[in-house]
Amino acid sequence: MSVYSNVGISAIEVYFPTRRVKQEDFEEADKRSKGNYTIGLGQIKMAFTGPEEDVISFSKTVVQRLLEKNAVDIQKVGRIEVGTETIVDHSKSIKTYLMEHFLGNPFIEGCDTYNACYGATSALFNAVDYTRLYGKYSIVVASDIAIYGGPSLDARHTGGAGAVAMLITPNAPLVVDLDRKVMSAHVYDFHKPNTSIEFPYVEGKLSTDCYLQALALTHQGIKQLHSSQGKTFSMSNYDYQIFHAPFNKMIMKAHAFLTQLDADQTKTDPTTDLSTIVIPDPKSMTELVKQTKQSFDEKVGPSTLVPRLIGNSYTATLFMSLASILHTEPEEKLNGKSVFCFSYGSGLIAAIWSVKINKGSDEFPLSKLIHNLSNIQTLLDSEIVTTVPEFEAVMKAREDQLNLTHQPFNKNSPQPKDALIYATENPGPVIGSGVFYLKEITHDLRRTYVRKE
């Protein structure tokens, strides 16, 4: 059994929609005090989209652009994995829609993987392990539309939307380390149990507590793992840190808490029970965040560019953070650096893993990976900023479309199966050039997509 080495990320493609709301406008609309969302959460804007886009169109956009910009030989691709928590169909995977981009090579493994914001990390691990064993390329897609309403309406300003596609190959410029530590537990901190709506049920305080407790437990786990290998785990080994970013303040707290945990050299009995892990009280946390501001700015700051401007894109957020570092830091500074990664998905599951940056191979050099991320600035610049009432109207249109797909279907009704229940006549400026959008939904709920010229 041959094993391929230095497997990791050789190309990244990012997409997020054009429409944005300013967090300061949400503050005003929600009658919150100034700074509540902008400083309290640390967010600037939130990206959102209407019924003309879904997680499938997002995925098609990033995959097609990934293939084109990197001239990927599709015959070398052996696996595609999609991570999402925006479920459009209870059976047919998004991955099957992506097969239209691989005509000529049907021999591609993989399907969709789900657990809140963690799905794409699981997809990445599956893909990396596959490429380690089989040598063929993999593609990992993270695609989500985070919308709050109904039971979680008061969290609507913490939404977001976007997708990332990553090419996984041997001898990659971003090598995913073999060592990783994952922990999981049964908790109802955030779930989507009403499958007739797009909205989650959220226990905000519980979820942020669980996030920090999971960080502490995986940190304990990776320390033990390194120790069992005769190595010493230390955060000082990492030049950058990325954390799953539901909002920016969360990762400031995560960074602060982790810094404290890592500095603590007292020998304590390891715990295996998440709920016994003590997290700092609010006052101590505020103090910790202050104390660690400089290292946050240095090690985490470069990762916050996209997430602060578009919000939480669930599975995609962590990879938006990774892309932000690569886009904002000078290339000569990146070569040789290590990135600490923390993934979190409610329900729950979390992982500490890491990436080592090198100059890559002739086929996939680091310079090309970085160059191809230059469209991040284009995406950021091509924003259409809307008012809160405009945002609400678009959300209503999404909900109306969803409800149309929940109408009872009568096989014997006079309406033909291919009659349209939804159509995007002209997507207008909200869809950029080269972006896929949802063209039609038929009476039997088939979706067709078109790429805007």
Q: Point out the residues that are catalytic.
A: 85, 117, 244
Taking residues 157 to 186 in sequence order and writing x for each that binds its own copies by CB under 8 A, - otherwise, the string is: ---------------------x--xxxxxx
DSSP code of residue 90: S
Contact 161/313 with Cβ under 8 angstroms? yes
**Which residues partner with 208 through β-bridges?**
none
Quick one: 130 or 437, whose CB is closer to its own copies?
Answer: 130
Nearest CA-CA partner of 344 in 245, 419, 451: 245
Other Cβ atoms less than 10 A from the Cβ of 247: the count is 24
Q: Based on CB atoms, which residue is closest to its own copies, 234 or 409?
A: 409
Q: Which of residues 227-286 bind its own copies (CB under 8 A)?
A: 272-274
Shortest Å, Cβ 106 to its own copies = 4
209 binds its own copies (CB under 8 A): no
- Residue 221 within binding range of its own copies, rule CB under 8 A: yes
Among 107, 335, 385, 419, binds its own copies (CB under 8 A): 107
Characterize the bridge pairing of strands 160-169 and 174-176. Answer: unpaired
Binder among 29, 32, 40, 96 for its own copies (CB under 8 A): 96
Neighbour tally for 76: CB within 10 Å:
12
Strands (E), 226-359: 240-243, 338-345, 349-357
Instruction: Give the footprint of its own copies on residues 331-370 (CB under 8 A).
Output: 345-349, 351
> Which CB, 114 or 243, lies closer to its own copies?
114
Closer of 159 and 221 to its own copies (Cβ): 221
Q: Provide the 10 A C-beta neighbour count for residue 44.
A: 18
Which helix or strand (DSSP H or E) is residue 1 part of? none
- Residues between 46 and 85 that touch its own copies (CB under 8 A): 85
Q: Output the CA–CA distances (angstroms, integers) from residue 382 to 195, 372, 379, 431, in the order listed.
A: 33, 17, 5, 10
Q: Which stretch binds its own copies (CB under 8 A): 12-20, 105-113, 232-240, 318-326?
A: 105-113
Question: 147 or 288, CB closer to its own copies?
Answer: 147
* Near its own copies in 378-407, by CB under 8 A: 405-406
User: Which residue number, 44 or 355, has a Cβ lying nearer to its own copies?
Assistant: 355
Residues in the chain: 453
Contact flag: residue 118 with its own copies (CB under 8 A): yes
Among 10, 18, 113, 313, indicate the residue that binds its own copies (CB under 8 A).
Answer: 113
Q: Helices marked H in 196-281 — which ranges?
A: 204-228, 248-263
Q: Rule CB under 8 A: is residue 453 a binding residue for its own copies? A: no
Q: How far apart are CA 318 and CA 245, in angstroms?
A: 7
Q: Which of 31, 106, 232, 453 binds its own copies (CB under 8 A)?
A: 106
Residue 451 exposure: Cα atoms within 13 Å on the Cβ side: 11
Q: Which of 257, 242, 214 is nearest to 346 (CA)?
A: 214
C-beta of 53 vs 239, nearer to its own copies: 53
Of residues 125 through 154, those in contact with its own copies by CB under 8 A are: 125-126, 129-130, 132-133, 150-151, 153-154
Residue 29 near its own copies by CB under 8 A = no
Tell me the window of 94-102, 160-168, 283-291, 427-435 that interacts with its own copies (CB under 8 A): 94-102
Q: CA-CA distances (angstroms) from residue 167 to 64, 67, 292?
A: 12, 9, 34
Question: Edge-to-edge strand order for the sheet containing 447-451?
Answer: 420-423, 436-442, 447-451
